Structure 1
Amino acid sequence: MKNPKPWYRRTWVVTGLAVAVLFAILFMVPVPYYIVQPGSALEVRPMIRVEGTETREKGGFFMTTVSMREGNVLGILASRLDPRFELVPKDKVLMEGEDPEDYQRRQVEIMDRSQQNAVLAAFRETGKKVKEKLLGVRVFRVLKEMPAEKVLKEGDLITKVDGKKVRSSEELIAYLKGKSVGDKVQLQVKRKGDILVEEVKLGNLGKTGTKERPGIGIEPVTERKIQTDPKVTVQADDIGGPSAGLMFTLEIINQLTNGNLTHGYRVAGTGTITPEGKVGQIGGIQHKIIAAEEENVDIFFVPADTHPGDSNEKRAKETARKIGADLKLVPVENLEDALTFLEKQERKNQAS
């Protein structure tokens, strides 16, 4: 007869199993949330190169980020104890039929478009040479169970609709608004060098008020080519989203003018940018204020609340007050507001 294992060995086995089960529950059990928390404040100067220019200022422009990851039980518990952790329902982050990989790919694509907008805004503001050529509507993603699923593929370039040229996603959306669900439209599409003509029956993208919204069922992006003199290169690695637009624009202007826009200050901020220089609202502003404060930022540009539902300015002020942030919060509606503020800083408080 075999001797039973010593009690302490059995205890270690039970403890090990309990730890493994607890680990699985805390880290591996999926929950329908994303965990959002402060990211970092990153200097944008190393990300941007304007040929033939050089700046040696002591200050710098910083973009701010949030950290976002798929949620787990541990994250839910942490959010109850630490207000820096925010739980965001997955359906508020992911589009219908989108998985986390699709989401990250979409964010990188949005970042690319934001960089293009920043280049256009900066060159137009400084009067430098820039050419923009709109090439059509690129199919970034085909929505499942929609008419386009049987006709279009990711990467297709739509150049005409019902025989009329379509140069941007805005033009395509505006044209389809005049149609009804069930109508048919003819699309001219470029696919790997071939020209195709396809007919698509419009589906229902949901309702705007009481009216059904007709669409072909794609996530469109405007395909365009930008040429500048001097040449600009932007390299932001895998950072996604549109919210660095304003800060990219300011850094490009700084390099184009060989100037000292920061006047020695650490200037952070956030906000989308249009080619015309208008600054737009973003998500996670409270986390970005915390990230900027932790990097000892002096000035923070925040999108001004100008329309019903806007809340960036309000939430930024609430967060700055709550954490006792030692930074100057500056609401801006457009690029000109930010530039005007920086110019006044030179007269009022020249940095050494």
Structure 2
Amino acid sequence: MRRRWLTFAYLFLLLLVGAAFIDLPYYVMKPGDAHPLKPMIEVEGGDKDDGTLMMTTIRMGEANYISYLIASIRDEEEIRPVEEVRSPHESNEEYNVRQEYLMDNSQQDAITVAFDAADKPYTFHYQGIYVLNVFPNMPADGELVAGDRITAIDGKRFESSKQFIDYVQSRKAGEKITVSFVREGKEREKAIQLKSFANNAGKPGLGISLADHKELVSRPEVKLKADAIGGPSAGLMFSLEIYNQLVEEDIAKGRKVAGTGTIDAEGNVGRIGGIAQKVVAAHKAGAEVFLAPADEISPEMRKKLPGIQSNYEEAVEAAKALRTEMKVVPVHTFKEALDYLLSE
């Protein structure tokens, strides 16, 4: 009898271990942390104040049977289908590269917005084409990888991705082009044969998704140490911290201010994912104010996702569930967030 129970226990243990290593087509989102931005952002000669501005994060990973079960019974965790997180053709590596690019782009937009508001100078230096994805069974498959930076085609350098695309599409399907690119700091070249694409009016291409790669140079210089964090959702808080170091006043006024939201070069604040988990992180860190994107839900989004809420609405619900005294503030723009902090 005892041997039978031991056999059962071993089998159960094996199933439990196996369940922890079998990935499901879902991601699990958990509350992350609220990170003070002063240690992460350094503006040369910048002013450091008593108030604290914090970015909020989530922890997200592919679900297995155990994490899926735990998330299904925990209010603070959320389960998302994989197609809501990354594209069907996108590998985990390509997803991570895209998140790194989005974070880098978000940082540049944050500097742009803060420097414009503080009337400080900056310039852009064009660095080439950044490869975000390489589509399977396309010409670039096996030749280029996500994260490569294309610097020239047939020895010609370009000033924008549009010039790059125009040149490639001026060639004929079946022709070979020489692609110069940088990978892991080393310059390389590959001869790649172009192919026409039916879903692009038969125009030739490489089979990659791309973005412009630019380097921002500012005076004073800004250094950001956020390499371990991906995605664009910290853009608003980055811009506020950079601005805070550029000016004399303490825009947080001694408070702990957390928040989230993308930022574009014009200062518009955009929708992000996982805001309920970020409210939890801010609450646990003792934040007094939480800045939430006041995004508008289009009729198309409501039709596709009945019951969808704006980030602000979802943040308010999460705060109520926590019974926190933290104030949730809706913001549409950087200026709106700044005006609120300075007026309260």
TM-score, normalised to structure 1's length?
Answer: 0.80
Residue of structure 2 in register with 1:268 after alignment: 258
Cα offset, 1:215, TM superposition: 6.7
Residue of structure 1 in register with 2:13 after alignment: 20
Structure 1 counterpart of 2:7, which letter? V
Report SS of the residue matched to 2:243.
helix
Cα offset, 1:16, TM superposition: 4.1
Residue of structure 2 in register with 1:201 after alignment: 195
Alignment of 1:217 onto 2:207: yes
Given that 1:205 and 1:214 are in contact with CA atoms closer than 8 Å, whether structure 2 keeps it comes out as: no
After superposition, the Cα gap between the structure-2 partners of 1:29 and 1:148, relative to the gap in structure 1 and judged at 3 Å, is: closer
Cα offset, 1:87, TM superposition: 1.3
Report SS of the residue matched to 2:253.
coil
Structure 2 counterpart of 1:121, which letter? V
After superposition, the Cα gap between the structure-2 partners of 1:296 and 1:204, relative to the gap in structure 1 and judged at 3 Å, is: farther
Give the Cα separation in 1 of the matches to 2:122 and 2:69. Answer: 51
Alignment of 1:55 onto 2:48: yes
After superposition, the Cα gap between the structure-2 partners of 1:122 and 1:33, relative to the gap in structure 1 and judged at 3 Å, is: same
Residue of structure 1 in register with 2:317 after alignment: 318
Cα offset, 1:224, TM superposition: 0.8
Residue of structure 1 in register with 2:334 after alignment: 335
Residue of structure 2 in register with 1:92 after alignment: 84
Q: How does 1:203-352 map to 2 (within 5 A)?
A: 203=197, 216-308=206-298, 309=301, 311-345=310-344
* Percent identity over paired residues: 33
Residue of structure 2 in register with 1:104 after alignment: 96
Report SS of the residue matched to 1:305.
coil
Cα offset, 1:72, TM superposition: 1.3
Give the Cα separation in 2 of the matches to 1:172 and 1:317. Answer: 45
For structure 1, the residue ranges without an aligned partner over 5 or more in a row are 1-6, 346-352
- Compare 104-113 and 34-43 and name the one that shifted more: 104-113
Report SS of the residue matched to 1:149.
coil
Residue of structure 1 in register with 2:134 after alignment: 142
**Deviation string, structure 1 residues 308-346 (Cα, Å, up to 9, x no partner):** 14721222222223332322111111111011111111x
After superposition, the Cα gap between the structure-2 partners of 1:18 and 1:100, relative to the gap in structure 1 and judged at 3 Å, is: same
Structure 1 counterpart of 2:13, which letter? A
Report SS of the residue matched to 2:319.
helix
**Deviation string, structure 1 residues 202-241 (Cα, Å, up to 9, x no partner):** 42569xxxx9999753231221121111111000131111
- Compare 246-255 and 221-230 and name the one that shifted more: 221-230
Given that 1:159 and 1:190 are in contact with CA atoms closer than 8 Å, whether structure 2 keeps it comes out as: yes
Moved runs in structure 1, 4+ residues, more than 6 A? 172-176, 182-188, 194-199, 211-215
For structure 2, the residue ranges without an aligned partner over 5 or more in a row are 302-308
Structure 1 counterpart of 2:116, which letter? R
Cα offset, 1:157, TM superposition: 1.7
- Aligned pairs, number: 327
TM-score, normalised to structure 2's length?
Answer: 0.82
Alignment of 1:79 onto 2:78: no
